Amino acid sequence: MKPYYATITVIGRDKTGVVAKVTSFLFEQHANIEALEEQVTRGQFSMTIQASWKPEQTAMDTVRAGLQKLAKTLDMEIKVRFTEANRRQRCAIFVTKETHCLDSLMKAFSAGKLNKAQPVVVIGNRGDLKPLADKYKLPFYCIPWEERGPAESHALSILDKHEVDFVILARFMKILSPNFVWRFKNKIINIHPSLLPSFPGPQAYRQAYEHGVKIVGVTAHFVSMHLDEGPIIAQDSFSVRSNATLKEIVASGQKIEAKTLVKAVKLYLSKRLDVFWGVVKEV
């Protein structure tokens, strides 16, 4: 029988004894803690634990109930996501209005190129891509993003409802807060239209055009607490003609954005990636 895995996130105001209390409870539940990462930022405590159980020792309801009780005791948010070994991972795709990345991802899923995962929901801060989500029979949620806090809370509730394991940002043009990112640490994949660390921010192609660069590229990376600075998964580039227009550069870039994002998701699903001191390494 195959083992069960779980990701546990703990978030709240910093206080002493949190790590000890959570890990002690997991030990009592026969969990094998495979990875633990925690940090404190301006008094905010965040911890992510990767744990596993032998099938005969897994009591998911008991673990969930115990963690809920512990959350009340600590006055913190504690969430757990269970995954069976070799189960297809469930992903959410976040979009705004550009179609190329979502369309390429869905074609790759349909062709079996990403068969270790299944898309289960599309979330957009605009409604432009609902017809494309409908085409692939995926539920679509439009969440206006005028106020980031309520929008992220709504999005997180949808991810919980659909039991999402990881998130793909398919040209999603909103910045996610540390509060959101920590809940899916190294499980949010973004595509950025430049060869990071050059040209971060929303106008990367324009910056490249105005600087007259001869090589323009794209970067797929894990989302971190800092804008466009997450660990890099994959990159690609193309040469720019001396008389190329901004419109031509954007068109060329969008072609490799889609391809590189699909490549990054495939690498992620291969489980050959590890993040070590902020750098992605294949293992």
At which of 84, 100, 129 does a domain end? Answer: 84
Query: Given the DSSP bridges, would you call strands 4-13 and 77-84 parallel, antiparallel or unpaired?
Result: antiparallel
Pairing of strands 89-95, 117-124: parallel
Which pLDDT score, from 0 to 100, does residue 40 have? 85
On the question of pLDDT at 221 being above 90, the answer is yes
One-letter amino acid at 80 equals V
DSSP assigned state of 198: S
Does 52 or 170 have the greater pLDDT score?
170
What was the pLDDT predicted at 66? 94
Could you tell me if 186 and 275 are in contact, meaning their C-beta atoms sit under 8 angstroms apart?
A: yes
Task: Give CA–CA dist 90/159, Å, rounded.
Answer: 10
pLDDT at residue 276 above 50? no
Asked whether residue 200 falls in the same domain as residue 219, the answer is: yes
Q: Are 65 and 184 contained in the same domain?
A: no
Residues 172 and 253 reside in one and the same domain: yes
User: What single DSSP character describes residue 282?
Assistant: E
Q: Where are the beta strands (DSSP E) in the chain?
A: 4-13, 32-41, 44-53, 77-84, 89-95, 117-124, 140-142, 166-169, 188-192, 215-222, 232-239, 273-276, 279-282
Task: Specify whether 75 is catalytic.
Answer: no
Identify whether residues 75 and 94 lie together within a single domain. Answer: no
Question: Which one of 14, 61, 160, 228 is the catalytic residue?
Answer: 228
Tell me, yes or no, whether 117 and 19 share the same domain. Answer: no
pLDDT band of residue 281 (cuts 50, 70, 90) is low
Distant-in-sequence, close-in-space partners of 172: CB < 8 Å, separation ≥ 6? 94, 95, 96, 124, 125, 190
Per-residue pLDDT tens over the stretch 122-158: 999 999 999 999 999 999 999 999 999 999 999 999 9
Q: Which residues touch 221 (CB under 8 Å, ≥6 apart)?
A: 189, 190, 192, 196, 228, 230, 231, 232, 233, 264, 280
Amino acid present at 70 = L
Selection from 51, 55, 1, 44 nearest residue 27 by Cα:
51
**Please, which pLDDT band fits residue 83 given cuts at 50, 70 and 90?**
confident
The number of residues in the chain equals 283
Looking at the fold, whether 190 and 272 belong to one and the same domain comes out as: yes
Segments forming the whole domain that contains residue 104: 89-282
Helix, strand and coil content of the chain, in percent to the nearest 5, comes to 35, 30, 35
Number of domains in the chain: 2
Residue identified by tokens 């794209």 is 218
pLDDT (0 to 100) of residue 2: 65
* Residue 273: pLDDT over 60: no
Same domain, 149 and 30: no
Please tell me whether residues 66 and 172 are part of one structural domain: no
Residues 15 and 36 in one domain: yes
